[in-house]
Structure 1
């Protein structure tokens, strides 16, 4: 019994650490597949974003779009309003010179809205972003240089958060994202990134796939480049900025929703996933699948640790159980410092697991709402 608990505990610790520590180390050992930016022929871009109740964000977004249009007067900007209850639609509609606006008939969701916009796009390359994200003014020029290589089908930019010091939730979220960006860079150097974040990525228009409204469109669209045999790159010189969620409850809900959509998308993409190369399959499982069950490793590992303590001495098992309960209560109340940071990590893992379990039971998400603490 003691040996069994020890082995299970060790395996769970390995399962939690592998995607974030061991996997990146393995990536550094894989063969490099370099791609270099180069002078690009003239190409046209279409920039697409969906919005729901993003009136405040548009006060920053619209000036950013103006700056991008000054750099590229031919930039096509398309926006989809998903039934906003504030004056999002009004603000977008006030700028027909800058933005072509499409309005949904009620709440239909981002995936639906992006499909509508992609159907109206005329650019050689489609740029996907969010209503609350701003792009650095040289983003279009940088994208052109990467897409000058015909083997490049998609490009994931770099997202930088601007408020990581606002709370423990934001600090942990910012640290997680810096690690995520590093992992994607390592993946890119060895071939393909395993999917894009919706804040900033671009694909060639002819690669845009068909998909149901319930999927995570960022993952579906970006992985279409990989399925088509093209490169999906992560680059450091296409930069976007966004604000982090600062409230623990908001972040829990957000992560659970994203995980549910990601796992549902995984099931929809299974036929295409089977066609990937062995190296891409290895990266996909390491980056995506194992992470989804980090919360399960935490739960099983905790039970195994209590069981291990009990096999040594019953009072140690009881002490371990009390320690776990006390830690849970304390972590729920502490909002700063190392304990709060550890709590944020565990909560994120559990939220992801909850989302996966919801998706496994058939629950899907198509709509979203901006986090109030963003």
Structure 2
């Protein structure tokens, strides 16, 4: 009985990380709901959310102005969420009629700042971006092609992580996102994504719905779009780049916030879990998101029942093997954390460390969902900050 419970929870972990992705890849080989793309140039608003981004905002705006898209069709809006540094002054100093600063007073958070900004923006297509995200010159052009298909309401691009020298989390982040992009390709072929990139998401302005300040747009926006009957698709040719986090503490903070925001967003849009109304999407959410969030719970239960089995009733070699493998995983994680402090490169070990950090973040996010209210604002850690 105890061995069976151990195998069930280990099986759930394997399903979350390997079973579901493999299933989606296999099914998508036989089903392909093509997006009808065409070259067209609707008016686009590139909306850059910013809070105290004086170090990067000038470069970001100039890079946005240089994108390969008709100048008369692309306008750049910097939405400053009550920045207290020189962010606003630097934006005002950029001499271009295509750049507009929208300052939001009161430090309301990214989501509410975007809510208010969109009330002043009239362009047909909105592209949400972050101040630290670098766009490929053709990225907006590639995103917009998808809107020639009237069934498409939102498009998410491809994020590629640059791994800075000395980053202990970069290898794991890069590998994770490559894996996620394979799943996104399969999801698009089968119909729709269930999430998008906060740093590169394009959508039809007329379909935007204001969100509560403590809800993260990256996850909730796509769910609301699906509820309205539109597809959310992945455009692999729309590339954007960000630097990976340097240390595990930075990754930890970011993951707790993102996972917690995702959980809150799913609760907000919970009707999408109705299997009778949204059968495919509810299956994807439970298999891709919810099961991943619950992996640390499965891992704790698997270890608990495995230990109990070995101590109380089992002489099975399988029980001892499973316990040994679990202990080996945690020993590798401890070793990786120790090597991180000495800046020793160990990319393969970092995969185990990254998995541990992400799953510990999920566990903390679950606890915070149950005990505290989600904040609308947060402090962003930048490269070079101590972790």
1:334 aligned partner: 339
2:195 matches 1:195: yes
Residue by residue over 1:61-96, the C-alpha shift from the partner in whole angstroms, topping out at 9 and shown as x without a partner, is 122112027643321211211233332222222226
1:108 aligned partner: 108
2:42 matches 1:43: yes
Change (3 A) 1:260 1:36: closer
Give the Å deviation of 1:340.
3.8
Aligned residue pairs, count: 368
Distance in 2, matches of 1:358 and 1:239, equals 33
Distance in 2, matches of 1:208 and 1:307, equals 51
1:23 aligned partner: 20
Distance in 2, matches of 1:90 and 1:346, equals 42
Distance in 1, matches of 2:333 and 2:35, equals 49
Give the Å deviation of 1:345.
1.0
2:127 aligned partner: 127
Matches within 5 A, 1:42-121: 42-68=41-67, 71-95=70-94, 97=96, 98-121=98-121
Matches within 5 A, 1:201-350: 201-274=201-274, 276-311=277-312, 312=314, 329-335=334-340, 336-337=345-346, 338-350=348-360
Deviates more, 1:68-77 or 1:251-260: 68-77
Give the Å deviation of 1:292.
1.0
Distance in 2, matches of 1:178 and 1:326, equals 26
Deviates more, 1:17-26 or 1:332-341: 332-341
Residue by residue over 1:68-125, the C-alpha shift from the partner in whole angstroms, topping out at 9 and shown as x without a partner, is 2764332121121123333222222222624211222232100011112221221111
Distance in 2, matches of 1:273 and 1:113, equals 28
Alpha carbons 1:168, 1:341 under 8 Å: kept: no
Give the Å deviation of 1:220.
2.1
- Unpaired runs of 5+ residues, structure 2, are none
Distance in 1, matches of 2:95 and 2:225, equals 32
Change (3 A) 1:308 1:323: farther
Alpha carbons 2:129, 2:199 under 8 Å: kept: yes
Alpha carbons 1:296, 1:350 under 8 Å: kept: no
Give the Å deviation of 1:41.
4.2
Task: Tell me the TM-score normalized by structure 2.
Answer: 0.87
Give the Å deviation of 1:165.
6.2
Distance in 1, matches of 2:91 and 2:142, equals 27
Change (3 A) 1:149 1:288: same
Give the Å deviation of 1:327.
5.9
Deviates more, 1:34-43 or 1:215-224: 34-43
